[in-house]
Chain A
Amino acid sequence: MVGKRYRFVYFLLSLVFVVFGARLFYVQLVKHDEYVSAANSVRVKQYELLAKRGEIYMKSGENEVVPAVLNERTWTIFVDPSYVINRDKAQAKLTEILGDKLIVSWDDVWKDLTNMYVEVAKGVDYDTVAAVKKANIQGVGQKETSKRVYPRGEMAAQVLGFVNAEGVGSGLEGAQNDRLSGKNGLLKTVTDVNEIPLSLGDENVEIPAQDGETLVLTLDENVQRESEKALKRIYDTYEGKIKNASVVIMNPQNGQIYSMATYPSFNPEYYYKVTDGNVFRNIPADSPYEPASICKTFTYATAINEGVISPEDTYVNTGHTDVDDITIQNALGSMAHLGTITFQTALDYSLNTGTVEVVRRLSSDGTISYQARSTIYDYLTNHYSLGKNTGSGLYEADGVIISPDDAEGNAVRYSNMSFGQGMNITMIQVLAGFSSVVNGGTYYKPTIIAGTMQNGQYVPDELKGADHQAVSAETSATMRRMLQEVRSYNGGDNDPAGYIIGAKTGTGETLNEDGTYTSDKTIVGIAGFGMSSKEGSLPEYTILVRLDGETFLWGYEAADVFTQLSNYMIEYLRIAPGA
């Protein structure tokens, strides 16, 4: 009897062990992966290590750099309503600390207790978040974020651009996003209940974030500031007449851009307060236009470089000239300077008939033939690199230059193109091409990026060097002399002695929606250079001004800006005067 009981207990225990064993088998082996996964989901956390976005500096003089865009740590304060024990106390304390930084009403915070994350303030500074932490309110947390700050306010706003809430950048922030943004890292780790990473376990992975590059721009803060002041001055002087004013100043000996400005402007830190999206446009790079008579510089340089004209050669100016079935007149139908005049005189007075005649001289038959048009097209697109992205590092529009092989690339088109109409090109293209005409004949690709900051030190990029020869050195010297004389008729009285200043103005009508020109909306501009009159000197700066007007503007508004900036550059670059 006793033996039977023992056997029964033995059997019962064995059965229990078998059940336990089976259950363990099921849990440990069959459901192994599932339970491991469930356990890891609780104790193993995966975080994205955010790369620090690269900052942006600009130059201040030859070797100094100053910050243009910095990162500032900010915090988002949030509330988990279900965790808050004493609502009245939490509400009162947070209201006291956050003040006008509160972005929600407290009724909205408490109305839905299932909502575990309600942001009550965004972009708060360190002092504020420190006060929130010190208050130690249950159910209130903070999340670190970052925002871009612009110590120089509106300076170079359109060039720098901004990064919107979705992380999409405009201006340089967008164009150089790959270099600025860096690469996020990964942290996969076991954490404790407070989500503090622990070294336990063998599944921890840490891939460090790679911070973005900190860029140094070629823009010089002093030149940039002066440029913006000059634009504001002319904008205010002609209040209501100027819609946008833009300027670019370049070093013609290497393509580096000293300044690029547009007015009206905005503060990129508060871009969301802007009501007119047009102020975001970086007009010098992204808004092609017809530069009008400024382009006569290119036409003359082409013909001189081809050896078909010299400044002293003459033609008969009748005030108008016929091309196919179109009659082209001088500006405003001017009938001045009629008769036999030199091409220098034609350029001095910006006569369209002279420029059309220059194009005819490019053809062996004296017409605006395919041969002449092909030569012009080759020079515009290949020698002066117009109508295509320059690779400056900015967002750029390509523009349009119609090929002579195109049905629209006819004689009328090319006669108009010879004085800067019937084509669309950007300011940065015009200035780079203009620089190549006057700097000795070398085309340098314009650039906005001078180098990077590494370990707090400015490390300049290697200069791009000459890209190609646009015109010969002799042609360039001739063009400098021609433009110097042109300048003497257009504000040259204000140029200091001992310097050679050359410039060409341009006044362009704009197109109506139906494609016809209107004089109600015009664009005036001027492109020029400055250098010492000492023998052997070459231009040390080139300037291009563009004013978009609602009503008719003469070129002198732009020349006024040019004069101010030219005089400034002579002093700023400490260009020694000649005898």
Chain B
Amino acid sequence: MSAYNASRSMTMTNSAPWMRNRNSVRHNSKLSLGPVSHIIFTTAVVLLIGLMFVSQSSKVTDYDLEVAKVNSEITELEAQRDALAVENAKITAAASDADSNSVASTMVDANSAAFVER
């Protein structure tokens, strides 16, 4: 622990290490782009980016259309489900009514009653 601290302290006070890695020679490229090449290159980059944008946009739109199609199918299936639920409810209600009639038939009828004058 103490050795590490000593080393770090030395680095901080000595400027030699960073000077050792400094570039001392600069190489100039012998090839250079002219103005026409610059324009072509820039245009190509812009077109590429534009193409990517259009590509992504159309992909999003494709998904939107797909979603709309699926939503439409969901709507149709829900409509069918609702229609069936209504039919089921009507049939169940009719069956329940028929059941109640059979139960009622076993019950004692209300007879005519005797009343006091009032």
Contact = CB atoms under 8 A, between A and B. Distances in A.
Interface of A: 60, 66-67, 70-73, 125-126, 130, 144, 149, 151-153, 155, 192, 196-200, 221-222, 225-226, 229, 293, 331-332, 334, 336, 348-350, 489-494, 496, 505, 507, 554-556, 559-560, 563-564, 567-568, 571
Contacts of B3: none
A126 B86 CA distance: 12
A483 to B, nearest CB: 14
B81 to A, nearest CB: 10
A81 B93 CA distance: 43
Contact of B93 (A151, A198, A349, A555): A151
Nearest to B83: A126
Interface string B78-118: 11101101100110110011001000100111111111111
Interface stretch (B10-18, B30-38, B39-47, B56-64): B56-64
Contacts of A568: 104, 107
A226 B104 contact: yes
A226 B97 CA distance: 10
5 contacts: A72-B86, A198-B64, A349-B117, A491-B113, A563-B113
Given A67-B89, A72-B86, A199-B60, A556 B115 contact: yes
Give the interface centre of B60, B97, B116 by most chain A CB atoms within 10 Å.
Answer: B116
Contact of B107 (A155, A331, A567): A567
Contact of B79 (A73, A192, A196): A73
A155 B92 CA distance: 14
A3 B92 CA distance: 99
B55 interface: no
A491 B115 contact: yes
A146 to B, nearest CB: 9
Given A72-B86, A151-B86, A505-B118, A66 B92 contact: yes
A508 to B, nearest CB: 12
A212 to B, nearest CB: 15
B85 to A, nearest CB: 7
B92 A494 contact: no
A196 B64 contact: yes
Given A73-B79, A293-B118, 16 more contacts: A66-B96, A126-B76, A126-B79, A151-B92, A153-B93, A197-B68, A198-B61, A199-B64, A489-B116, A490-B116, A491-B114, A493-B113, A505-B118, A560-B110, A560-B113, A563-B113
A566 to B, nearest CB: 9
A492 B104 CA distance: 21
Give the interface centre of A70, A151, A350, A555 by most chain B CB atoms within 10 Å.
Answer: A151
A492 B115 CA distance: 9
Nearest to B75: A144
Contacts of B115: 489-491, 554-556, 559
Interface of B: 57, 60-61, 63-65, 68, 75-76, 78-80, 82-83, 85-86, 89-90, 92-93, 96-97, 100, 104, 107-118
A539 B89 CA distance: 34
A60 B107 CA distance: 19
A197 B64 contact: yes
A559 B113 contact: yes
B62 to A, nearest CB: 10
Contacts of A73: 78-79, 82-83
B99 to A, nearest CB: 9
Contacts of B114: 491, 493
A349 B118 contact: yes
Say what secondary structure dominates the interface of chain B: helix
Considering the complex of A and B, which 10 residue pairs feature the smallest CB-CB distances, nearest first? A491-B113, A151-B89, A564-B110, A563-B110, A350-B118, A73-B79, A196-B68, A489-B116, A151-B90, A152-B93
B95 to A, nearest CB: 11
A334 B112 CA distance: 24
Nearest to A146: B82
Contacts of A564: 109-110
B118 A200 contact: no
Contacts of B60: 198-200
A281 B102 CA distance: 31
B114 to A, nearest CB: 6
A221 B96 contact: yes
A575 to B, nearest CB: 14
A200 B57 contact: yes
Contacts of A130: 76
A73 B80 CA distance: 9
B83 A125 contact: yes
B6 to A, nearest CB: 59
B98 to A, nearest CB: 11
Contacts of B65: 192, 196
A480 B111 CA distance: 24
Contact of A71 (B57, B82, B107): B82
A463 B115 CA distance: 39
Nearest to A72: B86
Given A196-B65, A200-B61, A225-B97, A336 B107 contact: no
A45 to B, nearest CB: 13
A69 B58 CA distance: 45
A349 B118 CA distance: 6
A148 B61 CA distance: 37
A291 B32 CA distance: 108
B78 to A, nearest CB: 7
